[in-house]
Structure 1
């Protein structure tokens, strides 16, 4: 990666300026028309509203028009503005290059069109300056946001974020809004793991941060769509899908050192008195997996019961769901990725399954002995209650025996 600093942060080096608290990066490519009004407006706003030293860094992504000359002129005319030239395109590449070399403790970026109202900038960076949060994002999809844009972009944005929630279990509401900030110490740890150099950069950064247990602050923004946007929606969508697949595979196989990152940067919630660390989160995740397993068990049992006896249906339904339950709890509840130990965990999970089978089968046998004429509804009710009891037993054994040697997420 080749970068050239066209001017320093002091606007030519003639005047001393203190180390900035905030460095706002504006990545640009062929923006000779919009660049000057954007930078002048942002500079005026920061000068009048931000009570800390700041810097504005124009990151030129290999522009072929007069953008580099406009950037250089601005850096000479406005104190606290510098221009950096990259010889390769890519918004993510530009952000990674500038953020990696910046000396400011808080780093931010925004799009050159200033679609986001600048009034959201202070609420965006304040939690990072105070140390309350690790990253901050502007959100066009959270409650309180006011957005003006066409239906096509609205639908694409919402579908993309739904896809992220389903494929990568993301909990943040808006990955693509060009209005974000990060603490420098956090960026130093995460940026080496971010592979994308284009538009998926934001999503990858946020997913890694979230998996590492970092606190992401969301700010509802007022946002007006830029009708002159030159983003290729189709090409960007295809690249995003590839990025989701690559990132999901890395998380699933354990190729990404999320555990190390979490130990270095993660925020551990203060546990309630008498509650072991990680237990609350494990219970919530285990309950979700257990609910899905129970529903799958009921459906499979009911279907099999139409062609076979109750004991056989119970055995097959439990066997099918037990394997899926162990795999899901291994990854989602106890945070264990990769193949190492997977076979042993499944074997131990099957042992737990045998205990569950004994409990549910014993319940069916007891029902048959006590009420041989009981109908299907009573039979199914007994099986459900016994399965729920087996679920409680399964959690206790998984936490203390199957996955007991692994640290909770």
Structure 2
């Protein structure tokens, strides 16, 4: 069952420390130089553009510069800003801690550099507040997105998402865009299963959500790369690949309780007795069958004048049978095994 939080949010004013409809988390580590500019710009946007009560939480994960002092000063000066300090590093650790403790209807996060245009925030959270979707992500790889970044980062991003599609059969387009949101009731059930505390946190969360049948809404974003970003690309890439291996193994061995979580979230098949994905599988079987029949007819017509009716019939049946088997194995028999294990 879904809940429409938009009606409940009607009449609420943004910028209050009372119970919020939306809580936006800014995870930071040694960001004393950029933090104030980010928080003031985000607060102004929430006040002017978001028509319901919202809150900003600065999640400081073990900064050793003046970040925490700046965060506390901002919380004292700006209504609707608070601070959560952790003694250990890790963006995923910070998000998990704040999201699990949140009393808001929807939790979100964005990177402190605000690389993503804030005008995408309302489209990001609206499907969650309406109850239609469970998670929402900003996508830099959507055709209508406008992105400014170097060739190196573009190549790494697209390569990583290709790896996710081939190794974990992920369908979401952009795992690592620092602009995401989810319903808090869903977060409380998913987050205990997410093990990563660093940059792979996003990917692991999305893979689990997708495997249990949750709806992931994607929003095309305008995104400008921060040339001063502190993210170490090589180290992050290695840890992401290790995370893919760990999650893939957990899905294959049944360590992740996907079936149980699907039941608890109400994501079982709409028709009793019809397994998840069965209808789509039947449709694909039908399409392959029709394509095979058309291919056989064309082969027969082409080969008949050259080798005769009997030989053309035999050749057409043989070729289409091989192609039919290959297509069904590629489309059907691999995916179901991955789903059953996961």
TM-score range, shorter chain: 0.7 to 0.9
- Give, in angstroms, the shift of residue 265 of structure 1: 1.8
RMSD: 3.1
CA–CA distance in structure 2, aligned partners of residues 230 and 223 of structure 1: 17
Query: Residue 203 and residue 129 in structure 1: after superposition, are their counterparts in 2 closer, same or farther (change >3 A)?
Result: same
Could you tell me whether the CA contact under 8 Å between 2:17 and 2:55 is conserved in 1? no
Change (3 A) 1:228 1:266: farther
Give the distance between the partners of 1:230 and 1:170, measured in 2 at CA. Answer: 27
Q: Secondary structure in 1 aligned to 2:182?
A: strand
> Which residue of structure 1 aligns with residue 181 of structure 2?
181
**Which residue in 2 is equivalent to 1:60?**
60
Q: Which has the higher contact order (CA 8 A, sep 6+)?
A: 2
Aligned pairs (5 A) from 1:130-209: 130-209=130-209
**Take 1:23 and 1:142, find their aligned partners in 2: how far apart are those partners?**
26
CA–CA distance in 2 between the matches of 1:243 and 1:163? 12
In structure 1, the gaps of 5 or more residues are 1-14, 295-370
2:314 to 376, 379, 386: 379
Q: Which residue in 1 is equivalent to 2:302? A: none
Matched residue, 2:93: 93
Aligned to 1:256: 256
Higher Cα Rg, which structure: 1
Note closer, same or farther for the CA distance 1:47–1:269 as it changes in structure 2 (3 Å cut): farther
Note the alpha carbon deviations across 1:290-339, whole angstroms, 9 max, x for none.
89xx9xxxxxxxxxxxxxxxxxxxxxxxxxxxxxxxxxxxxxxxxxxxxx
Give the TM-score taking structure 2 as reference length: 0.80
2:214: which partner in 1?
Answer: 214
Q: Equivalent residue for 2:231?
A: 231
Structure 1 residues 3-402: aligned runs within 5 Å: 17-267=17-267, 278=276, 279-283=278-282, 374-375=310-311, 378-384=313-319
Contact 1:175 1:203 in 2 (8 A): yes
With over 3 angstroms needed to count, the CA separation of the structure-2 counterparts of 1:44 and 1:259, relative to structure 1, is same
Once the two structures are TM-superposed, the CA of residue 131 in structure 1 deviates from its matched residue by 0.5
Query: Distance between the aligned counterparts of 1:268 and 1:254, measured in 2?
Result: 18
**Preserved CA contact (<8 Å) 1:213 1:266:** no
Cα offset for 1:284? 5.1
Deviation at 1:212, TM superposition (A): 0.6
Using the size of structure 1 for normalisation, the TM-score is 0.68
Return the offset for 1:140.
Answer: 0.3
Quote the offset at 1:18 in angstroms: 2.9
Q: Look up the SS of the partner of 2:244 in the other structure.
A: helix
Distance in 2, matches of 1:103 and 1:53, equals 12
Helix, strand or coil for the counterpart of 1:33?
Answer: coil
C-alpha deviation, 1:266, in angstroms: 4.8
User: How much does 1:386 deviate?
Assistant: 5.9
1:267 is displaced (CA, Å) by 3.9
CA contact (8 A) 1:128 1:135 kept: yes
8 Å Cα contact 1:215/1:267 also seen in 2: no
Structure 2 unaligned regions, length at least 5: 1-14, 293-306
